[in-house]
Each structure stands twice: as C-alpha cells, then as structure tokens.
Amino acid sequence: MNPRPDWGARLLFHPCCGCRAGQAALCSAQHIACPIEEAKMSAPFIVHTEASRSWGGQEIRVLTELLAMRARGCRVALLATAGAPLAERATAAGIAVHELPGFRDMNPATWMRLWRLLRWLRPTVVNAHSSDDSWTAAPLARLLDVPLVLRTRHVLTTVSCLGLYRLPHAVVACSEAIADGLVRQGLDRGRISVIPTGNDEGRFRFSADKRQALRARYQIREGELLVGNVGFLRGYKGQHFILDTLAALPQRYRAILVGDGDLRGGLEQRAAELNLGGRVIFAGHQERPEDFYQAFDLFFFSSHAAEGVSQALVQALLNGLPVLACRLASTEEALAGVTASKLVNHGDVRAACAGVLELAPRPGRDPVQMAAQHQLIAARYGLSAMMTRLTRLYARHGIVLPQATSGPATKKVVEALCTGA
C-alpha cells in the first residue's frame, strides 16, 4: 500500500519546478506526474470537486465523468472529502485523488489548502458539484484563471444562493426540469447546459439467461409477477408506497427492493405490519444492479421529490422494462415517448394498483418493443450522448478534447464502474 502523505506535504512543490522536494513523494504515492511537466501536454486536465460524504447518484455521476474523460485521453483528478466513499472508489479505479478534511467555506485553512493545491495542479477545467466545494473551490479556480469553471446541479430543489451559479463560467443541469427551476429563480438560461448522466448502453440490456438465474435465486415461481425498485432506501425515494401498493394487489404479485439505506429497518417493519411475508424481498446493496433488472416484470419508480433524472429509472428503461412512476417533472421528462409507462401521484394506492395490473401482465420482453425503447433512451441518456454534450460544452469555451476512441475505452469505463461503483 502506498504511503498517504499528511496535509502539509500536499502543499509543498515538486523538485522539478525548482522548489522543495516534499512533493516528490506525493507524486509517486498517487501515481501522478508533476503538473508543470503535464502542463506541456496537450490533453486537458479536468479536476472535479465533491464535498459529499455520501454515495448515491450524484457521486456516481462524478465518477462516471472522471472515468469517461480519462478513457477519452484527458488527465483527470478528484478533490474530495477524506474517507468519503467517492474518494475510496475513485482511488480503487485508479483516479488521482486529493483528499481534504472538508470544504467548509468559513475555514481559512481550507481556503489556503485549496488555493495551494489548485495553483500546483494548474487544471484546465474545475467542475464543482456540492454546495460546500462550490463556495470554496469554484471561486478560487476563477481567481487562479482556470480556463473553464463549471457547477453541476444534480437535484430538483430550490437553490439557497444563486450566486453559486453565477460565479462559474457555465452551469450543467442534469435535467431540463432542473434547468427550468434555475431559470425561474433568475439564472440566465444561456449559462445552462442540460447534460443528463450517461448510462452505458451495452451494460443495461435484457438477458434471458440472467432473468432465469435471478428468478431462480430468489424463488420467483412461474406465474408470479415481480415488481422491482433499485435505489437507496431514503425518504424521498418513497419505497413505502411500493409496499402499500403490494399489500393491495393479488398474491401472485411480489416485490424486490434492491438497495440499502437508513430506512431499511422501517421498511422491513412496514412490510411486517402489512403481513407481506415472503412477498417482498430486500436484496440489499448490489454492485451489479444490471443483473436484477432482468428479473423484473415491472419497474416501480416511487421517488416523489428532489430527483434529477434518476439513473435507476434510465437503466430500467434501457433494459426494456415497463415503468410505473410517481409524477415528478424530471421523471416525466425521462418517460417522454415511452409507451409502456404510467404516472401516478405518490401515495395513491388505488391508481398504483391499476397501473401495476395494466403494465405488469403485458406480453413480457417483446424484442421489438425493447429494442425501440432502448434506442430511444440511449439517444438521450446513454454514456455516448453525455460525452457528446460535454464535448460541445467544453468546445464552446475553447477546450478541445482528444478524439473519441472506439469500444475498448468505453468498456474500461464500464468495468471500472462495475468494480468501483
């Protein structure tokens, strides 16, 4: 295991720059070249910052961009909170990670540490993702004349300070609904680029063999219809609505919740109160959710707040599943043009039951319908689509990415996400 330098060592400079030698160990430990030497290279150096200590869709988006840009031939690095799951997973994927104690905007030590680190790194792009790092890394990047400073907005909620979105050169919104919300609060629409998170088109495809294996593993019998959900067990994800709906459906309907979180205990208790017994399966966190979509007959997307365009929803659609979802602007956006879908109000059990009874028993896994749905969703929410939009955004600000490579580079992104995300 490589030694991890202390915070002071991070602030020294590389000897090839004519400065003190303390940084040499850092370069060696983190497998990165001296920034002064790398500045001579033509590939852009893209640095993402993320203060979050959680692991969810936002953090997966950050890691996805880092891996995709690296596969494209760019140099990349991550500034993250020490010990955060994102930092650990990015390190495991071979990304250069600079861990910080935190990004508190009122802490002078944080400002000085970030100032010295960014001055040493000399990035071409700095992309901030959370509020704390937007208060610190983004303004410092502007002061240091970083060519492109971006702020990505991931959630569909009211922003507390619009100044955080006026300071960067441009804002990336993960859905049209998020962009519309920023405009309603007063941000110029011309500053916003809508770039949904990309999901690998090849990774999320239907497999009859995997369907059979997963249904056998969880003892789903012939004639039973499986309602599925993939996501962290959090309040706004609304999985209790799935349980309430299941309790009102015939016995041949079962449900599986793939994911973990603080609400798991409460959901298990709710299932017991509803006497669901073996009709509901809590599968826990799974590193390969694509295997589970195969087993579903219907995807029940129960989120009712905050979501941008959910990656789980997109993955289910890429897999060709019919979708029952709660009304939410970003969700309606994703379902546009999807014929095998129905929207209900969160908590309306009667409407949800009607939706399940309409969608789940359809002739399942029709190849023609699945292919059409996959093509529609991949064009809007595929990994290639995300990279095309990012390339255009960068080009508008004078930053040219290396030419796109063929399949193997994309395959490396997928493999890294499967093992590290």
Residues 6+ apart with CB under 8 A from 242: 227, 229, 255, 257, 300, 302
Say if residue 87 is in the same domain as residue 9. Answer: no
Say if residue 292 is in the same domain as residue 256. Answer: yes
Say if residue 340 is in the same domain as residue 215. Answer: yes
Q: Do residues 36 and 130 lie in contact, with contact meaning Cβ atoms separated by under 8 Å?
A: no
Q: Where are the beta strands (DSSP E) in 244-311?
A: 253-258, 280-284, 298-301
Residue 232 lies in a domain: yes
How far apart (Å, rounded) are the C-alpha atoms in residues 343 and 106?
44
- What does the pLDDT read at residue 25? 43
CA 91 to chain CA centroid, Å, is 17
Say if residue 8 is in the same domain as residue 94. Answer: no
Say if residue 298 is in the same domain as residue 402. Answer: no
- What does the pLDDT read at residue 261? 92
Residue 35 lies in a domain: no
How far apart (Å, rounded) are the C-alpha atoms in residues 317 and 179?
23
Residues in the chain where the model's pLDDT stays below 70: 1-41, 363-364, 405-421
Residue 203 lies in a domain: no
323 three-class SS: strand
β-pair partners for 281 = 256
Say if residue 375 is in the same domain as residue 386. Answer: no
Say if residue 122 is in the same domain as residue 185. Answer: yes
Say if residue 134 is in the same domain as residue 226. Answer: no
On the CB side of 392, how many CA atoms lie within 13 Å of its CA? 10
Say if residue 305 is in the same domain as residue 264. Answer: yes
Residue 254 lies in a domain: yes
75-81 and 323-326 beta bridge pairing:
unpaired
Say if residue 292 is in the same domain as residue 339. Answer: yes
Say if residue 347 is in the same domain as residue 392. Answer: no
- What does the pLDDT read at residue 405? 65
Could you count the other beta carbons within 10 Å of the beta carbon of residue 1? 4
With residue 148 as reference, give the H or E element that holds it.
strand 148-153
Mean pLDDT, the chain, whole residue set? 87
What are 420's two structure tokens? 């590290």
Instruction: Give residue 194's domain range.
Output: 42-198+382-420
- What does the pLDDT read at residue 12? 34
Residue 36 lies in a domain: no
- What does the pLDDT read at residue 107? 79
Say if residue 161 is in the same domain as residue 237. Answer: no
For the chain, the domain total comes to 3
324 three-class SS: strand
- What does the pLDDT read at residue 361? 81
Q: What's the angle, vertex CA 182, arms to CA 192 and CA 145, rounded to 5?
A: 45
Domain with 310 in it: what CATH number? 3.40.50.2000
Residue 258 lies in a domain: yes
